[in-house]
Amino acid sequence: MKTDDGSVIGLGHNHMIRDYQWEQQDAIFRRTFLKQLEREPESKEEKPSHAVFHFLLPGHILQMGPEVKAQPDVPSGISVHWNRSHNLCLYSLTRPSKEKTEAELKPDAVWPCAAPITCSAVTSCSSYLALACEDGMITVWDKCLGYPLAVAALPERCLIRSIQFLRSSPAPRDQLPSPKVQLLVLCTDGSLHLVTVSGAREARTMLLADRSKDPERTISAAVPILAFPGAVLVFSWDGTVSLTDTATPQTVCHFIPPPSHTVASPWQPVFTVDTTNQCLLLRGDEQQQAGHLTQTKDNRSSIFLFHFDSYRSMEVFPEVPQSPPESLQCLAWDQRCEVFLHDRLQRLPVLSQQIPWCWSQLRKHAAALQRESRKK
């Protein structure tokens, strides 16, 4: 039904749309469209990519030909991974002089991972390499032999923040490297874990410190002390610095600056450990009292020295031998081959006993496949 002003009233059936209504909608659309065209495009700045790299000593991860003479103490390769990347790139630093150099350097090997790599670590002797991914999986590689030693999984919802190797005794010249290694794992929630790899692909995870209910007691950093096997230096958000024994695990002692100073940047402490003189150097900022509040004075910092020998509780840690046996990494490639062949010959009786069992398993599997194919 039409009204005097030209509008239409109905019950929802056979509605009519006037011409001026189309014109209004068209004008609204054009105004909105012009505003979108005049708007400046949003600048999408690419975030800088953060790379983590480690120098690698000679080993089986990066194969080198006999024409390349590698020195035991000189790095022969480098491992690199970028943030949010699934791949670990390996580059060789010992290329033959006759090889042509390309404009774009390509990696000699690429290791793909199931999840993005968050952090990595390499032992001081460059014998073991560890990769931690976003899914909480940690893979430990034996760089000397060139195969994965073990895979460890942390509990769910544990995002790995950093991993570090604890000190392990090197193997003698006439033996293969000992497969027992330990990893110190710090998660983003402040929990601290110890991953121990011993034996053939066996990994055991132990919780050293759980997530604190008090935010001020959350662990901000954890660093192993190489001078004392099993000793870990733990920093908290409230400025507490303690030493933990991973074998117990218990707190052995605390390192407390004078009341006039506080630990500089507890969330990112400034410190270093002198393994030769066995002491801790810690930076502390001077603080002043302002009523009931404590404030830090600007540009007034001091370095405090803590000698580990002055703490009787340090006797719980075993002593490290002054002259460790020469490692297998110091041998030439032909001498290392002799050690590997000798070890293989010693394992031959055990392998010969496993061959019949492997053949029987293969026959059973083949028979099962034949039965399935007949049914189809």
> Which numeric CATH code is attached to 49-97+104-211?
2.130.10.10
Tokens at 104, concatenated: 């774009």
Q: What is the pTM of this model?
A: 0.65
As a whole number of angstroms, the distance between CA 264 and CA 273 comes to 16
| Stretch among 95-104, 105-114, 197-206, 307-316 having the lowest mean pLDDT | 95-104
68-87 in b/e form (b: 16+ CB < 10 A) is eebeeeeebbbbbbbeebbe
The rounded mean pLDDT for the chain is: 77
Each domain of the chain, given as residue ranges in start order, spans 49-97+104-211
In this structure, are residues 119 and 137 in contact, taking their beta carbons and an 8 Å threshold? Answer: no
Closest by Cα among 228, 214, 222, 227 to 241: 222
Helix (H, G, I), strand (E, B), or coil: what is residue 75?
coil
**Which pLDDT score, from 0 to 100, does residue 289 have?**
61
**Residue carrying the six token digits 């774009």:** 104
pLDDT digits (tens, 9 = 90+) for 13-28: 555 667 777 788 888 8
Tokens at 15, concatenated: 């509605």
pLDDT digits (tens, 9 = 90+) for 286-313: 886 654 445 555 567 889 999 888 888 8
How would residue 120 be classed by pLDDT, with cut points 50, 70 and 90? Answer: very high
How would residue 324 be classed by pLDDT, with cut points 50, 70 and 90? Answer: very low
- Residues near 360 by beta carbon (within 8 Å), at least 6 away in sequence: none
Q: What is the DSSP letter of 2?
A: B
How would residue 194 be classed by pLDDT, with cut points 50, 70 and 90? Answer: very high
Closest by Cα among 203, 215, 172, 60 to 127: 60
- Residues near 138 by beta carbon (within 8 Å), at least 6 away in sequence: 130, 131, 132, 151, 152, 153, 154, 160, 163, 183, 185, 195, 203
**pLDDT higher for 168 or 268?**
268
